[in-house]
Amino acid sequence: MDALKLIEQSSMKETAPQIEIGDFVKVYVRIKEGDKSRIQMFEGTVIAKKHGGINETFTVRRVAHGCGVERVFPIHSPSVDKVEVVRNGKVRRAKLYYLRDRVGKAAKVKSRV
């Protein structure tokens, strides 16, 4: 069991992004198309964090053209180039799934000063 933990710690990124639930983030993802690769930005609100350690993931939600889009990103994935926190959110819950049912200004998270 200790050997698994050592392997897990050695393969994790040293600078994992410090994100919290409710934060508005920009996630830069490396997309590979054929033999070329490019970086695509996905920005939205962090509505969930799951698991822990090497398996840790976070879910980002945004509304694009009136349709809600959610993507799940592994924190320690090599395809996630960087994560920028644009604004910190003030929330009192661990999961913000209730935002799926809200529309317009009601779907916003208050900003922490």
SS3 sequence, 16-35? CCCCCCCCEEEEEEEEEECC
pLDDT at 88 over 80: yes
Residue 65 has a pLDDT of 92
Round to whole Å and give the CA distance between 24 and 44. 5
Q: Round the CA-based radius of gyration of the chain to a whole number and report it.
A: 16
Q: What is the pLDDT of residue 102?
A: 93
Q: Which CATH class is domain 2-104?
A: mainly beta
Q: Is the pLDDT of residue 5 over 90?
A: no
Q: Phi and psi dihedrals of 75, rounded to 5?
A: -65, -40
From CA 38, how far away is CA 8, in angstroms rounded?
Answer: 28
Please check whether residue 62 is in contact with residue 69, taking contact to mean a CB–CB distance below 8 angstroms: yes
pLDDT(11) > 80: no
